[in-house]
């Protein structure tokens, strides 16, 4: 999801590219998405009300805001605005992004559920309860029918190849490591390439380096996810799931020292429409074998532009729910009893599948696990939906909502 700061940066970059200081460089901008999905990690969502986030003592930030952004946001210091407990206040980029977001004056609300269709009324109702943090006993009873303990052995076996969705990266790494260990295949450690003397780039995380990992642990047959739009027209896009079929080196290179030339991966033929090296069958499904080459990413870290070259893939026996956001999965396995309780995370995870029968929960959970008190962030989100971000003493917004079936 785009954050307030990201919206500010997008506008600045468009203004630079077009040499035009009009809002967003004079371009028409359309924002689309679902605010009931997860907010940006370690950042403020577009519906975040910066007037409720600023510590009352932070007069310096208020003066800076009025100077750099203008009087449109200077009223944040008014005493009748409810404030959260003192925390690190919003940045100039956050406040600028908030101001730009309020310039969008028309909303189109899509009312038809596209992912869950057909005879799935009970499942849709349960998802709606999770979405609005209003889970009832009936919703809980619907979801608990999919607990592993309540399923037949044949149903459980049908989830053997399903992706696991977990709330934390540590849980994902543990499961991925266990699957590779159980495969009893030799592991090849593929290191990324950086400048010879750039230790900072070599130590950068995947999220810092454009989603390219410093080291990949690969084995033949392992489940992978592609992290780049390599051939959008043919279906090789960010999020494509595949399996490692083989590894290829250039003639004359040393496989123990030199990085591979390419990875041969098997992608589902039903979602791929291009040429392929050969066909491959696994558990009754047809796959097309295609090559994946290394990608180079420039990234900014510690005041300097750096680069990393690596294969744009990651292990995908399990994914974090954040990474799965926006995906539609044929089947998914979740565990709602581990980690900190977060109903929004549960909603995103469970709603990745089209039908109730396509989800399985590893452990049983009680109704309390699905209930939560309304948070300040949820109140801001609701206020945004109602176009009521300002206090009654301030002018109302003029956003017009159009419902679209």
Q: pLDDT per residue over 230-249, tens digit each? A: 999 999 998 898 999 999 99
User: What is the pLDDT at residue 97?
Assistant: 92
Task: Report DSSP letters for 177-233, one per residue.
Answer: HHHHHHHTPPPEEEE-B--TT-HHHHH--TTTTTT--SEEEE-TT-EEEE-S-SBGG
User: What is the pLDDT at residue 207?
Assistant: 85
User: Averaged over 100-125, what is the pLDDT?
Assistant: 84
User: What is the pLDDT at residue 389?
Assistant: 43
For residues 130 and 139, is the Cβ–Cβ distance under 8 A?
yes
Please check the confidence at residue 392 and state whether its pLDDT lies above 50: no
Pick 93 or 405 by higher pLDDT: 93
List of residues 6+ apart from 328 with CB closer than 8 A = 115, 352, 353, 354
Q: How confident is the model at residue 108 (pLDDT cuts 50, 70, 90)?
A: confident
User: What is the pLDDT at residue 70?
Assistant: 37
User: What is the pLDDT at residue 145?
Assistant: 96
Q: How confident is the model at residue 405 (pLDDT cuts 50, 70, 90)?
A: low
User: What is the pLDDT at residue 79?
Assistant: 34
Q: How far apart are CA 387 and CA 158, in angstroms?
A: 46
Q: Which residue has the tokens 């300097």?
A: 304
User: What is the pLDDT at residue 57?
Assistant: 37
Please check the confidence at residue 169 and state whether its pLDDT lies above 90: no
User: What is the pLDDT at residue 404?
Assistant: 58
β-sheet with 241-248: strand ranges across: 278-282, 285-293, 262-268, 241-248, 223-226, 313-315
pLDDT in tens, 286-301: 999 999 999 999 998 9
């Amino acid at each position: 999801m785009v954050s307030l700061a990201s919206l500010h940066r997008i506008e600045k970059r468009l203004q630079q590219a077009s040499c035009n200081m009009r809002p967003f460089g004079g371009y028409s901008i359309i924002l689309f998405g679902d605010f009931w999905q997860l907010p940006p990690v370690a950042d403020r969502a577009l519906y975040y009300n910066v007037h409720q986030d600023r510590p009352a003592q932070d007069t310096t930030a208020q003066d800076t805001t009025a100077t750099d952004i203008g009087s449109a946001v200077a009223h944040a210091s008014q005493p009748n605005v409810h404030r959260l407990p003192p925390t690190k206040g919003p940045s100039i980029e956050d406040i600028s992004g908030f101001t730009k977001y309020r310039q969008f004056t028309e909303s189109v609300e899509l009312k038809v559920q596209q992912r869950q269709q057909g005879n799935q009324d009970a499942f849709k109702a349960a998802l709606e309860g999770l979405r609005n943090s209003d889970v009832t006993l009936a919703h809980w009873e619907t979801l608990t029918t999919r607990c592993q303990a309540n399923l037949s052995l044949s149903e459980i076996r049908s989830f053997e190849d399903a992706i696991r969705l977990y709330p934390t990266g540590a849980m994902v790494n543990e499961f991925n490591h266990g699957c590779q260990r159980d495969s009893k295949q030799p592991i090849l450690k593929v290191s990324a390439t950086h400048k010879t003397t750039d230790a900072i780039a070599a130590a950068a995380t995947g999220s810092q380096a454009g989603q390219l990992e410093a080291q990949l642990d690969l084995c033949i047959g392992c489940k992978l996810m592609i992290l780049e739009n390599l051939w959008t027209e043919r279906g090789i896009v960010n999020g494509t799931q595949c399996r490692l079929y083989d590894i290829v080196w250039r003639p004359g290179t040393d496989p123990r020292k030199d990085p591979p030339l390419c990875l041969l991966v098997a992608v589902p033929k039903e979602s791929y429409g291009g040429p392929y090296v050969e066909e491959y069958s696994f558990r009754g499904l047809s796959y097309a074998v295609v090559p994946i080459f290394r990608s180079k990413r420039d990234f900014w870290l510690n005041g300097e532009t750096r680069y990393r070259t690596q294969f744009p893939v990651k292990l995908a026996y399990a994914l974090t729910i954040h990474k799965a956001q926006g995906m539609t999965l044929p089947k998914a396995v979740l565990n709602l009893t581990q980690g900190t309780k977060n109903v929004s995370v549960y909603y995103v995870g469970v709603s990745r599948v089209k039908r109730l029968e396509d989800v399985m929960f590893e452990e049983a959970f009680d109704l309390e696990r699905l209930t939560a008190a309304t948070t300040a962030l949820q109140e801001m989100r609701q206020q945004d939906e109602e176009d009521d971000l300002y206090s009654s003493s301030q002018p109302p917004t003029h956003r017009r909502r159009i419902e679209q079936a």
